[in-house]
Structure 1
Amino acid sequence: MLRVLVELGRRGVSDFPWPVGAATGLGSLPGTDIAEAQRLIMGELPDLPHLAELPARGPGADMIGRSAGFLVELPVQLYVGRWQMALRPGKDQRRIADLLERDLDQLTEQADRYAGPIKVQAAGPWTLASSLDLAIGGRMLRDAGAVRDLTNSLAEGLRRHVADVQRRLPRASVLLQLDEPSLPAVLDGHIPTESGFSAYRAVDGPDAATGLRTIVEAVGVPVIVHCCAPGVPLQVVRDAGAAAVALDLGLVKDLDPLGEALEAGLGLFAGAVATVPAPGARPPTSAKIADRVSTLWSRLGFSAARLPEQVVITPECGLAGAPQPYVRAVLNACRDAGRRLAEV
């Protein structure tokens, strides 16, 4: 019994909504076989698995189409290779729903006995608003009222999605990851118009945080804001009430904002492994990954004991473009790196 309690104290107890020494993926994987992809995740990432995303299946499995499928009473359609708002649901909307239902069925089957945190992903409101076209032309981002409607619709849709996953997996606890790769460009006014000769107006940080907070408050579960672009707006993420930020460690240039965010209690999903290997390169070892993360942590001035509780090890971004053997090796190395850090 004492041995069990010691193990729980070392690995399971944390102030954060994930186990000590956890690792996870950020969503996308290569291939088109959802059963195989979900098996890989459940096997390699047992402490914090996630719902697999397979964009290689085509329209409706891509990040924007899949996420637009969560919108309530705001149907979308594919037009000239882009997603735009539609007057009524059509075949594209049905394809999105069918793909998601197939994915959730696999998750339900493979994780039916799972009791722990499990993560689902969707594009956030600012990335959707800068990617979806209005029916009359132009991005939704051009119209503040349309962005508000989209945000509220997405909040309700993701609330339903989280509730559905919780119903399917009653012993699990759901985490939601909001993918916001476009957020820095939205804040900087760098989202180009259709002509490419100008850009949409910049969105203020407080307004951006309000949009994200609408989602956070609606879903009622811990939210991780993921951004693999340079210049992650950490203050916006904090003001939104997110539980954690997921970012690419290789793009962190200024440590002070990151240190302040972590000191304030923000969790870190540390992207510490390249998503596509360099030609001829071998996947990094778990020891190398752990050393990279612990070195950064030391530079930030935090105690080593706090690291495995506050930090989750991940690849730098999604793995959809990586070879299958590399994907397995990376997920395995991330898992073992997390466990190495927990044993220090």
Structure 2
Amino acid sequence: MIATGIGSYPGEDLEETLSVVLGELPDLPHLPELPDRGVTAGMVGRGLAVMAELGADLQPAGWRLTDAPGVDHRRARSLLAQDLDTVEELTQDTLSMEGGAFKIQVAGPWTLAASVEKPRGDKVVSDVGARRELAQALAEGLRTHVADVRRRLPGVDRLVVQVDEPALSAVLAGKVPTASGFGRHRTVHPPEASEALAWVLDAVSDAGAEPWVHTCAAGTPLPLLVTSGARGISVDLGLMTAADHDALAQALEDGQSVALGVVPSLDPATAPNDVEVTERVLRWLDMLGLDPAEVGERLVLTPTCGLAGASPSWTRQALALLRTSAANLSG
């Protein structure tokens, strides 16, 4: 079994954070996201930076689609390019050999649709045409983005693209608030949600990468992620229902990856140790009737969600805890 991170970390120094990630998560390191640097470095800003064809800009209410990229959209794209330059430089030694692995993250189409406004206001999710256009622009942008990452990391055989969809459950349940805050946007039905997600995941696969979907929100229908083309599912173990456990077991049996959130993403009052984390995972596998040896590296240990709200000391401790626990399970 192996360990990796979800995406976000505290602080503003990418070089320092990436050095920690490379040291503590050698089997599946990833590109850190540092939202403390500002909204252009946050999850939504990063997703828009990848998006092709459509423009965006910051308004008082947040990100809004525009005819052409505004200054903040251009800054988001420039910052992403600079971060990839840093990754390329710092991984020349560690990822230069053939057979390496690396993970990048991007906001999914439904989280973007629930977070970004149309040109004339209110969320993209409120308009069928706008949300289709946004999903297709994200898919097209990902093809280019994955190709760029592959060019920069030629020794990486396994490139994972984690599509973050924390808002998907709210979109499906009709719980995304309107601009006034007094109403809710209409429910998006599962077939449409699956179609848009499939455009994005298929684009990742077509570009030669492995598409995962991450959600740390309860109520996300995990089978929908699989039927949409996800080859990995990343979840918080503490939020899973009986049906979710069955879906994860089926995914592992079908040869897909499951990234299991087992270490707190915020500083805990009492930190678990590696024995406790290891035993928790073993109990979960036993409940599902799965052999740890047969699951192997398809089971990945992660924090329960991003670590942006954690202290730097807990961040280092959490990653070390994940690495040690994964080693325990592999032994």
Q: Which TM-score applies when normalising by structure 1?
A: 0.90
Partner of 1:8: none
Partner of 2:300: 312
User: In the comparison of the two structures, how many residue pairs are matched?
Assistant: 321
C-alpha offsets along residues 188-233 of structure 1, whole Å, 9 cap, x if unaligned? 1111111222211111222211111111211222111000000121
Aligned pair 1:47/2:27, yes or no? yes
Please, which of 36, 42, 46 is the counterpart of residue 62 of structure 1?
42
Looking at structure 1, the residues matched to 14 and 251 of structure 2 have their Cα atoms a distance apart, in angstroms, of: 36
Partner of 1:7: none
Secondary structure (helix, strand or coil) at the match of 2:88 reads: helix
Deviation at 1:336, TM superposition (A): 1.2
Q: How does 1:218-233 map to 2 (within 5 A)?
A: 218-220=203-205, 221-233=209-221
Aligned-partner residue type, residue 135 of structure 1: P
Question: What are the ranges of 5 or more consecutive residues in structure 1 without an aligned counterpart?
Answer: 1-20
C-alpha offsets along residues 1-23 of structure 1, whole Å, 9 cap, x if unaligned? xxxxxxxxxxxxxxxxxxxx210
Aligned-partner residue type, residue 161 of structure 1: H
Looking at structure 1, the residues matched to 247 and 69 of structure 2 have their Cα atoms a distance apart, in angstroms, of: 43
Is 1:238–1:266's contact at 8 Å kept on the other side of the alignment?
no
Aligned-partner residue type, residue 54 of structure 1: L
Please, which of 34, 52, 61 is the counterpart of residue 14 of structure 2?
34
Aligned pair 1:149/2:133, yes or no? yes
C-alpha offsets along residues 49-93 of structure 1, whole Å, 9 cap, x if unaligned? 000100000120111111111111211111004011122222101
Aligned-partner residue type, residue 250 of structure 1: G
Partner of 2:119: 135
Looking at structure 2, the residues matched to 142 and 247 of structure 1 have their Cα atoms a distance apart, in angstroms, of: 27
Partner of 1:335: 323
Partner of 1:200: 185
Partner of 1:78: 58
Question: What are the ranges of 5 or more consecutive residues in structure 2 without an aligned counterpart?
Answer: none
C-alpha offsets along residues 249-282 of structure 1, whole Å, 9 cap, x if unaligned? 0101223333334333332100001111233x2x
Q: How does 1:115-194 map to 2 (within 5 A)?
A: 115=97, 116-172=100-156, 173-194=158-179
Aligned pair 1:303/2:288, yes or no? no
Aligned-partner residue type, residue 45 of structure 2: G
Is 1:284–1:330's contact at 8 Å kept on the other side of the alignment?
no
Q: Which TM-score applies when normalising by structure 2?
A: 0.94
Which of 91-100 and 131-140 deviates more?
A: 91-100
Root-mean-square deviation (CA, aligned residues, Å) is: 1.3
Is 1:269–1:314's contact at 8 Å kept on the other side of the alignment?
yes
Please, which of 266, 269, 280 is the counterpart of residue 292 of structure 1?
280
Which of 301-310 and 36-45 deviates more?
A: 301-310
Identical-residue share of aligned pairs (%): 42
Partner of 1:110: 90
Looking at structure 2, the residues matched to 260 and 170 of structure 1 have their Cα atoms a distance apart, in angstroms, of: 33
Looking at structure 2, the residues matched to 304 and 107 of structure 1 have their Cα atoms a distance apart, in angstroms, of: 33
